[in-house]
Chains A and B, each alone.
Chain A
Amino acid sequence: MIVNFFGRDNKRILILIILAVLCVCAFILSLSQGSLKLSLSQVLHSIFFESTGPHYQIIYNIRLPRTLVAALVGMSLSLSGCILQGIMRNPLASPHLIGISAGAGLAGIFILIVMPSAFHLLTPAAFIGALVTTIIIYALAWQQGLKPTRLILAGVAVSSFMGAWITALMIFFPERVHSVLGFMVGGLSARSWKHFYIILPYSVTGFLLAIVFAKRLNILLLGDDIARSLGLNVEKNRLLFIALAALLAASAVSVAGLLGFVGLIVPHMTRFFIGSDYRFLLPACALTGSCLLMACDTVARVALDPVELPVGIIMSVLGAPFFLYLLRSNFNKG
Chain B
Amino acid sequence: MLKIQDVTLGYKTKEDVIKSVDLNICEGELAVIIGPNGSGKSTLLKSIAGNLKPRKGQILIKDKSLSSYSAKALAQRIAFLPQFPTVPNDYTVRELISYGRFPHLKWTGKMQSTDWDIIDWAMELTHLTTYANRPMAALSGGERQRAWVALALAQQPQILILDEPTTYLDISFQFEVLELIKSLNKKLNITTLIVLHDLNQAARFADRIIVLENGSVVLEGKPDKIIRNGKLESIFQITVGIGKDTYNDCPYLIPLKSRRTIFGGGDRFKNLSPKRTKCPS
Q: Which residues of A contact B (CB under 8 A)?
A: 1, 4-5, 8, 89, 143-144, 212, 215-216, 218-219, 221-223, 225-226, 228-233, 275-277
Contacts and interface: CB of A to CB of B under 8 A. Distances in A.
Contacts of A277: 90-91, 95
Nearest to A276: B88
Given A229-B81, A232-B71, A221 B94 contact: no
Contacts of B99: 218-219, 222, 230
B87 interface: yes
B187 interface: no
Contacts, number: 84
Given A222-B99, A226-B82, A231 B90 contact: no
B90 A229 contact: no
Contacts of A231: 70-76, 102-103
B133 interface: yes
B230 interface: no
A222 B85 contact: yes
Given A1-B132, A223-B86, A230 B155 contact: yes
Given A8-B92, A228-B49, A230-B99, A222 B86 contact: yes
29 contacts: A1-B129, A5-B94, A5-B133, A144-B12, A215-B102, A218-B99, A219-B99, A219-B102, A221-B86, A222-B96, A223-B86, A225-B46, A225-B49, A225-B80, A225-B85, A226-B81, A226-B82, A226-B85, A228-B50, A228-B71, A229-B51, A229-B75, A229-B81, A229-B155, A230-B155, A231-B75, A232-B71, A276-B90, A276-B91
Chain B, interface size category, equals 35 or more
A4 B133 contact: yes
Nearest to A7: B133
A44 to B, nearest CB: 38
A225 B74 CA distance: 14
Contacts of A216: 109
Interface of B: 12, 46, 49-51, 70-76, 78-82, 85-92, 94-96, 99-100, 102-103, 108-109, 129, 132-133, 151-152, 155
Nearest to B108: A212
Nearest to B116: A2
B102 A230 contact: yes
B49 A221 contact: no
Contacts of B108: 212
A216 B96 CA distance: 13
B2 to A, nearest CB: 15
